[in-house]
Amino acid sequence: MRPLSETEMKTMFEKLANYTGASLNQLIAPTSEDGTEGERMVFRLQGSRVYYAPLALVNYATSIPRDQLLCIGTQIGKFSKTGRFFLNITSLSVIEKHARFKAWLKPNGVQPFLYGGSVVRAHIGRWSEDCPGSQGIVIYDMNDTPLGFGVTTRSTAEARKLEPTAMVIARQADCGEWLREEDTLFTT
């Protein structure tokens, strides 16, 4: 387990900033409820996977041999062999706390999304105002349960004028991946 290089860090932060915006700073130095600075969080690379964990836990993990350490903290995503960074569904708990744009699905749109489909306009119950196109967005059901995340294909204003069957959010990850990809989700 090692710290990310400068180019790896830049690639990962660009992807995360697409979902979190200016609150990206809160991922590294979170503040507690009373306004004081919380425990410092760090990103570490194990193989091709990036993990997000408290610094104290990472320091304890240095005594474990690399080949015996499976993971530490929350898996954020992984790097491909070409250097691209992909967010995993395991990062949803981190991203949804800091999400800039959100969309809520109607009950009839939850199942198609969880089976790996993208979101069409008819399935949107409500979403954040002034959301631009090609922007990261976290998807919830109407009970405020986070289901996954994706990228908008149109802005909020453009999407309101589209027909009900038009795709408005391209799915990146959903909670259904826990079942569909359980054999490969944590393997290298």
pLDDT-derived band at 47, boundaries 50, 70, 90: confident
Domains of the chain: 2-95 (3.10.450.220), 101-179 (2.30.130.10)
User: DSSP string covering 4-39, please?
Assistant: PPHHHHHHHHHHHHHHHGGGGHHHHS-B-TTSSB--
Residue linked to tokens 């790097």: 79
- pLDDT surpasses 90 at 79: yes
Q: What is the mean pLDDT of residues 167-174?
A: 95
Report the chain's mean pLDDT, rounded to a whole number.
Answer: 89
Strand pairing class (74-79; 102-105): unpaired
Average pLDDT in the 88-111 region?
93
C-alpha–C-alpha distance, residues 14 and 10, integer Å: 6
Mean pLDDT of the 40-69 span:
89
Average pLDDT over residues 85-105: 93
- The pLDDT of residue 177 is 82
**The predicted structure's pLDDT at residue 35:** 56
pLDDT confidence of residue 19: 92
Q: Is the pLDDT of residue 69 over 90?
A: no
What is the pLDDT, as a whole number, of residue 6?
95
Using alpha carbons, select from 63, 53, 43, 56 the residue that is nearest to residue 2. Answer: 43
pLDDT at 36 over 60: no
Say whether pLDDT at 163 is over 70: yes
Tokens of 159: 């999407």
